[in-house]
Chains A and B, each alone.
Chain A
Amino acid sequence: MRQEQLCAIPALSRWLIEAAGLLVPGPFRSEWRREWLWEIWHGYSTLTRDGASAARASRRMTGFALGAFVDAGDLRMEALRTSQDTRSIARNPFVFIGALAIAFLALAGWTGGFRHCRTALGSLYPDSGQLVLLSRPLGVLGLQTPANTGQVSTWVESSTWFGNVAGFVLHDGTLEVTPNFFSVLHMDRSAHFRFLGHSVGAVKFIDPGRSPVAFSGAIARLKNPADRQAAEKHWGGFSIYDGARVNATFLDERNRWPLYFAGVSLLFLAAGMLHARRPPRYLAFFTVKTALLLGIVAAAWAEVATAIPIPITGGVDLGTAALLVGFLLLSQVFVLRWSLQDQAERCPVCCRLVSMPVSVGSRSSLILDRPAVEFLCTRGHGTLRLSDLTACTGEPSQWTPVDRSWREVFARERTA
């Protein structure tokens, strides 16, 4: 459409058509927009040519354009009604796995290739394996007691392991540090300097000898990296953290147990399926599907967890950590539960979702004719019976393979 033609369409009508166009299914959208916009162009031209004022013609065309929403909604509903084939495609296990893989890649693209995770895995500062964070333990009611000037001096003087100790405190984006701060970090101050994940607007050097300061904590460099354990033992009352992982504290050893839980659950489930003599294809599909789902959840979680700066005093913000670990655990349980449910409704031979549910049995005959729902594999591999009374009778799902001759019945079945 030429620009001058577009300009001859009242702006409000044009915006209405653009908005309604979002409802139209993609393949039809371009032609649909053309049809409506050009009809408005001609309608507006006719009205103004016949003597209507521009405002009146514009109002009339706005009313006309509002009908586009009804038309667009009608097209969308029509597309949904004819999406039987799409549902049939979605039953295909390879399409499902492909969709999960695309979701994972989309997540990677959206997070810049898991930018925060990659940063956390690398070293934040040169030789950061030698860096430790020192802070005072939590006091009454969990309140952090700041370290005073004398405390930092004591840390330096009484320690045989630290080569250099620098105090710091962050006030409204301004980082107040002792003059030796950047020499401890082994770096020069850069324009976009971040400290423990926090943005630093300005750095102010203070001389603790002249003006006593309440530091949030101190960062120290070990003379020898091998001294870490000895230092941790000696300074047991203080928090000492690995400077190489200061931005990934939620992934430390104590908080990895949800990941172990997922791994062990997966192993148990796979072993259970092997025991139930499920075909290798069925088992492989379940493993790949669940691993991809767990991977997506874990990657998204890790990206969020590592993006959160750690408290400036060092250590773990227990409230945030508990919330994050709890969320990870719940989401993994949900994923495993959903994955099992999905797997239970798949054909063991071709892994396609079974369909055509039929209610069988009788609710008044709990002994001889128990109620259940029976599904069919659209490829004619067999029938799957899912009991309605699993909770009280413990009756497992029952797969009944059918003879090859039955497959002819399903040969033309495409829309089930």
Chain B
Amino acid sequence: MHTPLSLTSAIILLAVENGRRYGFEIMDATGLPSGTIYPALRRLEKAKLIRSDWDSTASAASQGPPRKYFRVTPEGRGALDAAGKRFPAVAQLKG
């Protein structure tokens, strides 16, 4: 049983679920500052609601360095459903 998500964490988790995989993209999508996004991502990862990995395929295409990406775990989807019940705004955004 996880601690219920805060609204900010739920929005970040939802952004990852909606395909915003990188820190900069999540910042763009949510409008939250990077100083809020990254600590929240670490906590979500520690709670095993998301997983991170290094994306070397995308970097090969752009000839840049590998980039860390995030994806939601099954537990994360469960937590997101629970958050949707607590926060109507999250449920609306989820569609």
Contact = CB atoms under 8 A, between A and B. Distances in A.
Majority SS of interface residues in chain B? helix
B20 to A, nearest CB: 13
B23 A39 contact: yes
A386 interface: no
A41 interface: yes
B42 interface: yes
A70 B36 contact: yes
Contact of A45 (B33, B39, B42, B64): B64
- A8, A38, A45, most chain B CB atoms within 10 A: A38
Interface residues of B, number: 19
Contacts of A37: 65
A197 interface: no
Nearest to A32: B38
B62 interface: yes
Contact of B36 (A1, A65, A67, A68): A67
Interface in A161-190: none
Contacts of B86: none
Interface string A262-296: 00000000000000000000000000000000000
Interface residues of A, number: 25
Interface string B19-30: 000111001000
Given A42-B24, A64-B24, A71 B65 contact: no
B64 A41 contact: yes
Contacts of A69: 35
* Chief secondary structure at chain A's binding surface: helix
19 contacts: A34-B65, A37-B65, A38-B64, A41-B64, A42-B22, A42-B24, A42-B67, A43-B24, A46-B24, A63-B33, A63-B34, A65-B34, A67-B36, A69-B35, A70-B35, A71-B34, A71-B42, A74-B42, A75-B42
Interface of B: 22-24, 27, 33-39, 42, 59, 62, 64-68
Given A2-B65, A38-B65, A75-B42, 16 more contacts: A35-B23, A37-B65, A38-B66, A39-B23, A39-B68, A41-B64, A42-B64, A63-B33, A64-B24, A66-B35, A67-B33, A67-B35, A70-B39, A71-B38, A71-B39, A71-B42
Interface of A: 1-2, 5, 8, 34-35, 37-39, 41-43, 45-46, 63-71, 74-75
